[in-house]
Amino acid sequence: MNPIARQKLRSISYYILKLITDFLYLLPDNSKKVPILVYHRICPLYYKKKIPYANVYPEEFDKQMMYLKEHFEIITISEYVQRANNNQLKWNEVCITFDDGFKDNYLYAFPILKKYGLKATFFLITKHIDSDTIFPWIPLDKGAKDDILSNHKRWLPLSWEEVKEMMEYGIEFGTHTHTHKDSLSKMDIEDVKEEIEESTKIFMEKTGIYPELFSYPHGTFKDYDTTHIELLKSYKYKAAVTTNIGRNSQSQNLYELKRIIIYEKDSLREFKKKVCGAYDIAETLQKIWLIIAGSKPYRLDYR
């Protein structure tokens, strides 16, 4: 599909989804399904522009966390796994996760989590932790490049010392491969093994803890398969998270946990809709999109 047609299809599908979710949000939901939210960056504005790469501003993140604190029980992915195995999931639980390991997670997200006494699960790309270089795939426009000159620190990955400090508070961590160079489905199985093995080894060396949780790079159903799930089990991982859209029921495969990405354009109402299940229907649209339009992920924030 050519880029113009893809853009039009995305625009049409988003507005259809918006109308449907506005209606679904008004209906009562008594299902015992757990939303797992996924963030990437939590960072302020720069030069009246937006930081790229699924950023949420600290003030918006604060509002979202306050809402969760008032209405839900926040559990980690490990707690989710334990409760799912014991058939103890409840309707009012939510998991908060972060992918990659940006330093702004420590600078801006961590203080807000502590402010509300909340826990979360972070997935690290081990090659870049403690690095003085910016993640190589981050798009940098002029505003971003200008901001790097004056706020270089917040563009870097986390350090292992920061990881340890967050662990002491009660934040848990898992791995997100060693390099995040591609989706697992596009890699030779030996390269996948190396990515998992190296990230597992480094994580254990740096933290003294064996990782049991994994986040698939890119993470849609086209980015991994049963071979990768069996490989994770062989490395003693207990669960893995995807970017397949939706909430998780008691019967959900623990190695294919669904998540809902939160974007900077999400109003507090849209955030509530995502948490409360109005966007569960987007899983079907996502599958159709990936089949028709190619491998680019279906985003929930398209405007």
What one-character-per-residue DSSP string does 133-182 give?
S--TT----HHHHHHHHH-GGGGSBPPHHHHHHHHHHT-EEEE--SS--S
Per-residue pLDDT at 46 exceeds 80: no
Domain map of the chain by residue range? 29-292
- CATH number at 29-292: 3.20.20.370
Q: Please answer whether residues 196 and 227 qualify as being in contact, where contact means their C-beta atoms are separated by less than 8 angstroms.
A: no
Query: Which is more confident, 290 or 92?
Result: 92
Per-residue pLDDT at 159 exceeds 70: yes
- Please give the angle made by the CA atoms of 40, 120 and 56, to the nearest 5 degrees: 30
> Which residues neighbour 91 within 8 Å (Cβ) at sequence distance 6 or greater?
30, 31, 32, 33
Q: What are 252-298's pLDDT values in tens digits? A: 999 999 999 999 889 999 999 999 999 888 877 777 767 665 655 54
Q: Please answer whether residues 105 and 112 qualify as being in contact, where contact means their C-beta atoms are separated by less than 8 angstroms.
A: no
- Read off the pLDDT band of 303 (50, 70, 90): very low
C-alpha to C-alpha distance for 247 and 251, rounded to whole angstroms: 11
Name the phi and psi angles at 45, rounded to 5.
-70, 155
pLDDT of residue 3: 64
Per-residue pLDDT at 158 exceeds 70: yes
C-alpha to C-alpha distance for 188 and 23, rounded to whole angstroms: 44
Rg (CA), the chain: 18
pLDDT of residue 30: 64
Following CA atoms 126, 243, 303, 15 in sequence, which dihedral angle do they give, to the nearest 10 degrees?
Answer: 180
C-alpha to C-alpha distance for 276 and 180, rounded to whole angstroms: 31
